[in-house]
Structure 1
């Protein structure tokens, strides 16, 4: 019997990030996947700015930026002509070190995570499945089966269901997974092609034809087409070929396909699990929430789930926090999942709606209004903040307290580079830490030193004020870099109360 602290079911990006984060914090894990080998094709492409920020803690951000492709802008097309362009590099400038959309296909992404996980001596156990598990309140006893039919029992402190839309963990917990299925069938095609839409940017067709988005891949003339199939063709999704796909949208975007390297079709659901945890079992990623690919949010949200849960599991397993800390995982993530599903559903419904009125709005009104709206800086910034997930916050939650400057407890710490110093550099440390922008009191310096709590003091600069940070304020940061406490006075007693009231040891 192989025991572990955390048994992870599913070795997609969500499960791999959870395993990697826990391993780096010294927690023993097992990670299983029923597939014989890592995926060689994938649907997820986008790595959002917030994911790259968090990946600094795993020393992954630079590798992904170097290996992937930076998308500088998104373009909307109507009736065969480009109608609007949204430049990421200018609207995200000053908000994040990564003011772009990063394209890094999921198969390459998973391989990178697997390689990094192996450095900790953890290998994915392939062709292994979870049959079921029991939670006795103290441990999880899981029944596993290998490809050869050999069964074994694994005893773990916790189990994490990262096993996708058909999650065995979720089914064992008997959680409702309500939602619906889009009538359209999606297709994905990796192609060698040419044309104005093969310029390294993202292009989306808003015509009355089937929805189509062209995502650039690394290398010249390579792209991924993601589109929809309607009418009677959608009734035979499992047998579709690229030749069955309507050429209207492809022609509208003036894409000349020379070679199809991979093609797949599938149906998309939009669902959120009733709960994200019970007892010692947790749901993450597609096991907890699935939605349309609009906005490239799915994989990034699963990775966010993993990072949110990982530091909490580590704190509980090392005796630095009570088990009640784990309740905050669902509280902080389920609301975002519901909002995300609702938002992506509205966006996708808009770009694929049938009927004369929908077509009029999409092809006539939207192209007129969109350029005018996106010419306004607040609108452009809102769009980038939303898509990049840097606006995601945990305000008004149990672990969030106080306000200082424009920053509230639960916010992502604003990024600011001043005097040659990047305030995110210290966030590579997976520990609680304190930031002060200005001057830290002697009492605060002493308190942090006595408890081994890292204290970062930044010389006050206009960039800090512009980012919304408060002069001489105290910001307590969680191990996942979100602001736990914002205290404008810099009072050390506020720190003392924060940890005492939550029974957490930094």
Structure 2
């Protein structure tokens, strides 16, 4: 019977990212998908800064940025009048090397990830479906179905369910998926349009209980529309066309749509599974959590699920960590998913609430508030951090320890740009590493040499202090670049104790 280390079910962005990070770390994978090829429609649009920071680990951030489009600004409209323009370029100039919102349609995105995976010698097996599986304690036994109908028994050490909101893997392990479905029916359309002003920028328009979001692809006259279907039409979504959706908000933008290249309707759900892991099976992406598209978080959250799990699976498969490490995947990612659902739920409820008062707040109060607030540098940075996922932390994780300066275990390492280089250059390696900003103690240098631990020393600068880092402290970074341990004393004994307590063996 054929066998691999990890069987990945689902070749969307989440499954592809998991396959890439595992393969890069020397873990054997098999990735299957029941579709005949990558998606043909541009579902998710935004690639956030934190995702790009991780893509830098694989040397693909520049390719994604070159293929995508940096959205210059978001314009807010109400009842046919533009009320506010919020610049988006360089909104996070002090936070991330990627201080912008990048539009990169999911169908293009998937194709790039597939090519990256092929360059590592891994092919997605299309028209291959998971029928069932059993967890035997020491391995997973699965039954796969191929395009010609024949079944194949297959074994893997672990199974990753990246198979979407209707996940078979989630169903098989008996995980709950509590939450609900919003009553509104939404549409998404890719259109050719003229009259968008300013062209190439994003727009959100409100008109009473209607709204529409318009996003540019960076190509002349090509846009993505997301909006709401009139209540009286929503009962039979299968019969709807673009002509059936509300057009008051669209008309308020004074745009003319000449072609509808793709149109679909969908319901918005808000759900989080109660088990991200059961035994040797894991849930990632939409199989584990779904929420409103507010803020462009969905695809990015799934990719971050994959990166979080990949280094832990690699360590356990290679025998350098105990099974305990895998339990931290649920602790870290479920907590974030719940916070994200709560946040997007509030935004979504605000955008879709009905009634005179809600309409007044949306069309009169919110644009003024947004315009004034965004002039504050602190507000701009806060908004960027929230949307870009750079504010995500794992403070409550069993893997997070200590505080040095303003940085504590579980934080994303602050990015510090300097004229010569930045402190993220070393993060291209998927490995444990130590950062010291200032002078390391001699025993720490000796310990790192003996343990084959990369030690990166940065001459102390005022910029490091401004970023919240402490002089001469030790920052132990996980392979996914989050701070595992922050020790203000910079002692090697603290590092030794950390690895011992967490049953992690460093590679020789």
Classify the TM-score, shorter chain.
over 0.9
Per-residue CA deviations over 1:289-333 (Å, capped at 9, x if unaligned) read 001111000000000000000000000001110011000000000
CA contact under 8 A between 1:418 and 1:464: conserved in structure 2? Answer: no
* Worse-superposed segment, 150-159 or 77-86: 77-86
Residue in structure 2 matched with residue 55 of structure 1 by the alignment: 55
Residue in structure 2 matched with residue 340 of structure 1 by the alignment: 340
Distance in 1, matches of 2:378 and 2:321, equals 40
Shift of 1:375: 2.5
Secondary structure at 1:471 match in 2: coil
Aligned runs of 1:322-471 on 2, under 5 Å? 322-471=322-471
Secondary structure at 2:32 match in 1: strand
> How many equivalent pairs are there?
506
Residue in structure 2 matched with residue 473 of structure 1 by the alignment: 473
Distance in 1, matches of 2:33 and 2:21, equals 18
Per-residue CA deviations over 1:270-301 (Å, capped at 9, x if unaligned) read 11111111000000000000011110000000
TM-score (norm 2): 0.97
* Worse-superposed segment, 316-325 or 206-215: 206-215
Secondary structure at 2:305 match in 1: helix
Pair 1:121–1:90, CA change in 2 (3 A): closer
Shift of 1:197: 4.0
Distance in 1, matches of 2:85 and 2:447, equals 51
Distance in 2, matches of 1:418 and 1:405, equals 20
Distance in 1, matches of 2:411 and 2:279, equals 28
Secondary structure at 1:137 match in 2: coil
Secondary structure at 1:417 match in 2: coil
Distance in 2, matches of 1:481 and 1:233, equals 48
Residue in structure 1 matched with residue 74 of structure 2 by the alignment: 74
Aligned runs of 1:291-310 on 2, under 5 Å? 291-310=291-310
Residue in structure 2 matched with residue 289 of structure 1 by the alignment: 289
List 4+ stretches of structure 1 deviating above 6 A: none
Say whether residues 1:217 and 2:209 are aligned partners: no
Shift of 1:206: 2.9
Secondary structure at 2:155 match in 1: strand
Residue in structure 2 matched with residue 22 of structure 1 by the alignment: 22
CA contact under 8 A between 1:238 and 1:266: conserved in structure 2? Answer: no
CA contact under 8 A between 2:70 and 2:89: conserved in structure 1? Answer: no
Shift of 1:456: 0.8
Distance in 2, matches of 1:422 and 1:481, equals 14
Distance in 2, matches of 1:460 and 1:364, equals 49
Secondary structure at 2:228 match in 1: strand
CA contact under 8 A between 1:198 and 1:216: conserved in structure 2? Answer: no
Secondary structure at 2:235 match in 1: helix
Shift of 1:368: 2.7
Say whether residues 1:320 and 2:320 are aligned partners: yes
CA contact under 8 A between 1:209 and 1:248: conserved in structure 2? Answer: no
Secondary structure at 1:95 match in 2: coil
Provide the aligned C-alpha RMSD in A: 1.2
Distance in 2, matches of 1:485 and 1:375, equals 36
Distance in 1, matches of 2:209 and 2:268, equals 19
Per-residue CA deviations over 1:159-210 (Å, capped at 9, x if unaligned) read 0000000000000011111111111222111112222445222211133142
Distance in 1, matches of 2:372 and 2:26, equals 52
Residue in structure 2 matched with residue 492 of structure 1 by the alignment: 492
Shift of 1:440: 1.6
Secondary structure at 2:397 match in 1: coil
Pair 1:149–1:283, CA change in 2 (3 A): same
Distance in 2, matches of 1:11 and 1:420, equals 39
* Worse-superposed segment, 415-424 or 3-12: 415-424
Distance in 2, matches of 1:442 and 1:464, equals 22
Distance in 2, matches of 1:87 and 1:367, equals 14
Pair 1:32–1:198, CA change in 2 (3 A): farther
CA contact under 8 A between 1:402 and 1:485: conserved in structure 2? Answer: yes
CA contact under 8 A between 2:230 and 2:245: conserved in structure 1? Answer: no
Secondary structure at 2:495 match in 1: helix
Distance in 2, matches of 1:444 and 1:459, equals 16
Residue in structure 1 matched with residue 482 of structure 2 by the alignment: 482
TM-score (norm 1): 0.98
Residue in structure 2 matched with residue 245 of structure 1 by the alignment: 245
CA contact under 8 A between 1:198 and 1:222: conserved in structure 2? Answer: no
CA contact under 8 A between 1:198 and 1:223: conserved in structure 2? Answer: no
Shift of 1:419: 3.9
CA contact under 8 A between 1:3 and 1:154: conserved in structure 2? Answer: yes
Distance in 1, matches of 2:257 and 2:149, equals 45
Residue in structure 2 matched with residue 134 of structure 1 by the alignment: 134
Residue in structure 2 matched with residue 206 of structure 1 by the alignment: 206
Distance in 1, matches of 2:383 and 2:258, equals 34
Shift of 1:451: 1.1
Shift of 1:65: 0.3
Residue in structure 1 matched with residue 113 of structure 2 by the alignment: 113
Residue in structure 2 matched with residue 271 of structure 1 by the alignment: 271
Secondary structure at 1:227 match in 2: strand
* Worse-superposed segment, 258-267 or 381-390: 258-267
Residue in structure 1 matched with residue 143 of structure 2 by the alignment: 143
Per-residue CA deviations over 1:406-426 (Å, capped at 9, x if unaligned) read 111000000011241111111
Residue ranges of structure 1 left out of the alignment (5+ in a row): none
Residue ranges of structure 2 left out of the alignment (5+ in a row): none
Say whether residues 1:41 and 2:41 are aligned partners: yes
Say whether residues 1:8 and 2:41 are aligned partners: no
